[in-house]
């Protein structure tokens, strides 16, 4: 009985220790953000590169994902006679569910491939 309690305590202390390390890392990162040299031109250039230049790829991915969802959704909803709900269902799923995930993947892939090239 005491061995299982000790194991639980060791695990809890390990988790707390790791959370403390992450908090210290975050505090250091935020602290270094406010130290000179400040380079706002570089920051704006990176925002433009990662944000605006990724917009085409993100929109293209969203359009084709919407095509696939509408094709599969029409097949399923037409069997039940409710194909009129296809538009709101696809819009909801692409904008609220798949949109953020696919956008994150596309931005990460585009920025990562640009950094390695």
Q: Are 49 and 114 in contact (CB under 8 A)?
A: yes
Q: What is the pLDDT of residue 107?
A: 86
60-110 pLDDT, tens per residue? 998 999 999 999 999 888 888 888 889 999 998 888 988 899 888 988 888
99: which 2 tokens? 């949109």
CA dist., res. 85 & res. 38, Å (int): 52
- Calculate the alpha carbon distances from 79 to 71, 75, 84 in Å: 13, 7, 12
CA dist., res. 62 & res. 104, Å (int): 12
- Calculate the alpha carbon distances from 84 to 71, 74, 81, 96 in Å: 13, 9, 8, 20
Residue (of 61, 50, 43) closest to 103 by Cα position: 61
Q: What is the DSSP letter of 37?
A: P
Q: What is the pLDDT of residue 116?
A: 82
97-116 pLDDT, tens per residue? 888 998 889 888 888 888 78
The domain locations on the chain are: 1-35, 38-117
Please say if the pLDDT value at position 46 is more than 90. no
Q: What is the pTM of this model?
A: 0.59
């Amino acid at each position: 009985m005491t061995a299982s309690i000790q194991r639980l305590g060791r695990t809890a202390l390990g988790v707390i220790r790791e959370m403390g390390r992450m908090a210290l890392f975050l505090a250091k990162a935020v602290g270094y953000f406010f130290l000179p040299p400040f380079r706002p031109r570089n920051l704006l250039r990176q925002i433009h590169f990662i944000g605006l230049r990724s917009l085409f790829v993100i929109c293209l991915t969203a359009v084709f994902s919407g095509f696939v969802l509408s094709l599969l959704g029409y097949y399923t909803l037409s069997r039940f006679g409710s194909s009129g709900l296809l538009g709101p269902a696809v819009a909801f799923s692409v904008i609220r569910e798949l949109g953020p995930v696919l956008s994150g993947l596309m931005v990460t892939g585009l920025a990562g491939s640009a950094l390695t090239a």
